[in-house]
Amino acid sequence: MVVYAGQGDPARSVPLLWRSAEPPERPGPRPTLSVDLIVDAAIAVADETGLATLSMRAVGERLGRTAMALYTYVHGKAELLELMYDRALAELPSSYPDDVPWRDALVAWADDTMAFHLRHPWLLHISRARPVLGPNEFQSLETVAAIVRRTGLPPRAARGAISTLFHYVRGAAQSVADARSAAAATGQSDEDWWYSRSPLLEAAVPDFAARFPMTTWLESDPEPPPEDRTPYLEWDARRSFHTGLAILLDGIALQSR
Amino acid sequence: MVVYAGQGDPARSVPLLWRSAEPPERPGPRPTLSVDLIVDAAIAVADETGLATLSMRAVGERLGRTAMALYTYVHGKAELLELMYDRALAELPSSYPDDVPWRDALVAWADDTMAFHLRHPWLLHISRARPVLGPNEFQSLETVAAIVRRTGLPPRAARGAISTLFHYVRGAAQSVADARSAAAATGQSDEDWWYSRSPLLEAAVPDFAARFPMTTWLESDPEPPPEDRTPYLEWDARRSFHTGLAILLDGIALQSR
DNA sequence: CATCACTCCTTATGGTGTAAAGTGCCGACT
DNA sequence: AGTCGGCACTTTACACCATAAGGAGTGATG
């Protein structure tokens, strides 16, 4: 299951996102919570235990309230997710120096964006099909666009390049995040997991090398193992991140000439 | 929420995947279901209504049984998902002609893989962090590897290229699938959705052009609209799919020289 | 014919989002 | 000063979910 953004009531969520509505003084008890507090609590829950365990009850409990208390501030879980999404994006750097070559700037951007998604892996499970239209989402687009513009590409091609860059970085982050959370969920390291399965596989498919020659070829010439104790899958994903990015940037450079 | 593969009991799932266990003749009532029937029903449910509504109950009902009846054949939902995943992959072509240039073969592969994921968008929500180790998963790797090998890249670089290609295609498919399901979920076309939001955005952020100059620049020189009635987001995603792929293949070609 | 392994069912538990209604607070108006 | 009305927050309830536990019936084998 994946969560779709942009599903809240726009008349409510747009002002909330841009904080353009000042709550007037009104009769009744003073609110003891606020949208900001709730969004912060929800992000904390998602960071710590993942989107799957992000329930209205969990967020409420973290604030010493019941789940229903949140509905005064936020119309539902969908709206809360939009707010979380845009809020988290505020963490990203909003500009990169323009006295370095665009290529270096894009590598820095990719690294930052990768690290950001790994700090908040739940972001990867929020679909970007419908933009949230929040200030930080636009700012993040603004930031890459400023770099890509320096390639000299016209707007159309720049849009394509940006979308490809986003996909690439999100895909790579997804790999690493998945590797981590799979390890956490099963309590098995990549190696444990593999060692527990490979004998079974060999038993079930004795003629593996004959049946899958190309796969066998791919697995010849293995990587040297990582020096530190980084889990293999994660290490591999990170390593290939930069080589893949280089391919992509080569392509962009080629297009812009 | 996302689903992780490779979490079932390997001692059970590997033989199930490779169908290497023949059920012996036993006393008791004859089974009226089978793993195959269940997996087919589950795939049908997922294709029709999405992974979010794929419940054990729904699969059971489609077969005229209760949810619990399935547990005799399949240990749980996680195991069922692994089986669905590997089964679906059987649809992919298992080879591409080697008398065409590798570049054309990769474009054909990408198109097929894209179309495949759009036929079964729920596949995109099954994480590939831990491989399922099923026959069709290996076959799909085998198929790309056979093409990529013809670039002349050594195994290590080929692995990187393959992983980048997979990410790219899955990412692009994700965009299109998300656009579709967002439209279905909200009952709004992209245009409806945008038209309902843009006045609100303009009201909330009157100084948009000054505040986000690069974004404004990006949106100058808009694409000509699609001739047919394809929804905009989907049409845009499909169009940029091939230009992005071209960038990527340029990069691979560059690397292999 | 009795046994016994097996399929399938009913029931129950603890989780989810959120609708509906109840409680008590407190600023604003008379 | 007293009352009123609207709001924050709670409790309760409902319809779902996966699946554990245990019971009922089936049908080939001894």
Place of tokens 């593999």: A194
Query: Does one domain contain both B185 and B223?
Result: yes
Helix axes A190-204, A232-256, angle to 10 degrees: 90
Query: Does one domain contain both B25 and B142?
Result: no
Is residue B141 pLDDT above 60, yes or no? yes
DSSP state string for A133-186? --HHHHHHHHHHHHHHHTTT--HHHHHHHHHHHHHHHHHHHHHHHHHHHHHHHH
Query: Does one domain contain both A124 and A225?
Result: yes
Q: How many whole angstroms separate alpha carbon A177 and alpha carbon B200?
A: 35
Query: Does one domain contain both A75 and A184?
Result: no
- Residues B49-63 have a mean pLDDT of 92
| Domain finish residue from B38, B63, B89 | B89
Residue type, B136: N
- Cβ distance A205 to B18 less than 8 Å, yes or no, reads yes
Distance from the first to the final alpha carbon of chain B: 42
Domain that holds residue B18: 3-89
From the list A1, A145, A255, which residue is nearest B51 (CB)?
A1
Can you give the pLDDT at residue B38? 96
- Residues B122-147 have a mean pLDDT of 89
Q: Please tell me whether any atom of strand C lies within 7 Å of the Cβ of A65.
A: no
Question: Which residue pairs, CB below 8 angstroms and at least 24 apart, start in B203-211?
Answer: B204/A14, B204/A15, B204/A17, B204/A18, B204/A20, B205/A18, B205/A135
Query: Does one domain contain both B223 and B120?
Result: yes
From the list B2, B129, B149, which residue is nearest A175 (CB)?
B129
Task: Flag whether A97 is in a domain.
Answer: no
Query: Does one domain contain both B112 and B47?
Result: no
Strand D bases within 7 angstroms of protein beta carbons: 4-12, 16-22, 25-29
Task: Flag whether B43 is in a domain.
Answer: yes
User: B84: closest CA among B131, B39, B22?
Assistant: B39
CA A187 to chain CA mean position, Å: 23
Query: Does one domain contain both B120 and B85?
Result: no
Burial string for A214-252 (b: 16+ CB within 10 Å, else e) reads: bbebbeeeeeeeeeeeebebbbbbbebbebbbbbbbbbb
Burial string for B30-49 (b: 16+ CB within 10 Å, else e) reads: eeebebeebbbbbbebbeee
Per residue of chain A (257 residues), give pLDDT as tens: 455 555 666 677 888 888 766 666 676 677 789 999 999 999 999 999 989 899 999 999 999 999 999 999 999 998 999 999 999 999 999 999 999 999 999 999 999 999 999 999 999 888 777 777 899 999 999 999 999 999 999 998 898 889 889 888 988 898 888 778 777 766 677 777 777 778 888 888 899 999 999 999 998 877 776 666 677 667 777 777 888 888 889 888 888 87
Q: Any CB–CB contact under 8 A between B142 and chain A?
A: yes
Task: Flag whether A111 is in a domain.
Answer: yes
Q: Measured at the alpha carbon of residue A95, what is the angle toward residues A91 and A101, in degrees to the nearest 5?
A: 135
Could you tell me if the ipTM is greater than 0.85?
no
Is residue B94 pLDDT above 70, yes or no? yes
CA A126 to chain CA mean position, Å: 8
Task: Flag whether B114 is in a domain.
Answer: yes
**Are A251 and B248 spatial neighbours (Cβ–Cβ below 8 Å)?**
yes
Domain CATH for B35: 1.10.10.60
Q: Please tell me whether any atom of strand C lies within 7 Å of the Cβ of B33.
A: yes
- Cβ distance B168 to A171 less than 8 Å, yes or no, reads yes
Can you give the pLDDT at residue B6? 53
Q: Which residue has the higher pLDDT, B32 or B143?
A: B143
Can you give the pLDDT at residue A14? 82
Task: Flag whether B94 is in a domain.
Answer: no
From the list A10, A196, A221, which residue is nearest B197 (CB)?
A10
Query: Does one domain contain both B150 and B187?
Result: yes
Can you give the pLDDT at residue B238? 75
Distances (CA, A) of A141 to A105, A134, B190: 15, 11, 20
Can you give the pLDDT at residue A130? 74
Query: Does one domain contain both A131 and A14?
Result: no
pLDDT for B98-120, tens place per residue?
999 999 999 999 999 999 999 99
From the CA of A28 to the C1' of D3: give the distance in Å: 14
Q: How many whole angstroms separate alpha carbon A134 and alpha carbon B208?
A: 12
**Contacts with B105 from chain A: Cβ below 8 Å:** none
- Cβ distance A149 to B217 less than 8 Å, yes or no, reads yes
From the CA of A181 to the C1' of C8: give the distance in Å: 36
Backbone dihedral angles phi then psi of residue B127, each to the nearest 5 degrees: -65, 140
- Cβ distance A212 to B172 less than 8 Å, yes or no, reads no
Cβ atoms within 10 Å of A19's Cβ, excluding its own: 12
Backbone dihedral angles phi then psi of residue B106, each to the nearest 5 degrees: -70, -35
- Residues B1-26 have a mean pLDDT of 67
Nearest residue on chain A to B224, alpha-carbon basis:
A156
Cβ atoms within 10 Å of B27's Cβ, excluding its own: 4
| Domain finish residue from A62, A89, A116 | A89
Strand C bases within 7 angstroms of protein beta carbons: 3-11, 15-21, 24-28
- Gap from B105 CA to chain A (nearest CA, Å): 16
Can you give the pLDDT at residue B116? 97
Task: Flag whether A132 is in a domain.
Answer: yes
Backbone dihedral angles phi then psi of residue B4, each to the nearest 5 degrees: -105, 135
**Are B171 and A170 spatial neighbours (Cβ–Cβ below 8 Å)?**
yes
Query: Does one domain contain both A170 and A223?
Result: yes
Query: Does one domain contain both A109 and A227?
Result: yes
* pLDDT-based confidence at residue B21 (cuts at 50, 70, 90): low
Q: How many whole angstroms separate alpha carbon A177 and alpha carbon B132?
A: 18
A48, with CB counted inside 10 A (0-12, 13-18, 19+), is exposed
**Are A158 and A149 spatial neighbours (Cβ–Cβ below 8 Å)?**
yes
Q: Please tell me whether any atom of strand D lies within 7 Å of the Cβ of B221.
A: no
- Residue ranges of B 52-91 with Cβ closer than 8 A to chain A: 52
Distance from the first to the final alpha carbon of chain A: 42
Task: Flag whether B111 is in a domain.
Answer: yes
Backbone dihedral angles phi then psi of residue A128, each to the nearest 5 degrees: -100, 15
Token digits of residue A7? 């599903």
| Domain finish residue from B68, B89, B110 | B89
- Gap from B56 CA to chain A (nearest CA, Å): 15
Share of chain B above pLDDT 90, in %: 47
Which run of H or E residues covers position A126?
Answer: strand A126-127
Task: Flag whether A140 is in a domain.
Answer: yes
- Cβ distance B186 to A246 less than 8 Å, yes or no, reads no
Can you give the pLDDT at residue B127? 76
Query: Does one domain contain both A122 and A203?
Result: yes
From the list B11, B130, B154, which residue is nearest A221 (CB)?
B154
Is residue B235 pLDDT above 80, yes or no? no
Domain CATH for A222: 1.10.357.10
Can you give the pLDDT at residue B257? 79
**Contacts with A14 from chain B: Cβ below 8 Å:** 197, 200-201, 204
**Contacts with B77 from chain A: Cβ below 8 Å:** none
Can you give the pLDDT at residue B100? 96
User: Hey, which residues does A3 pair with through a beta bridge?
Assistant: A126
Which positions 8-27 on chain A have a beta carbon less than 7 angstroms from any atom of strand C?
Answer: 25-27
From the list A160, A196, A251, which residue is nearest B250 (CB)?
A251
Instruction: Please state the domain count of chain A.
Output: 2
DSSP state string for A69-102? GGGGTSSSHHHHHHHHHHHHHTTS-S---TTS-H
pLDDT for B204-230, tens place per residue?
889 999 999 999 999 887 777 666 667
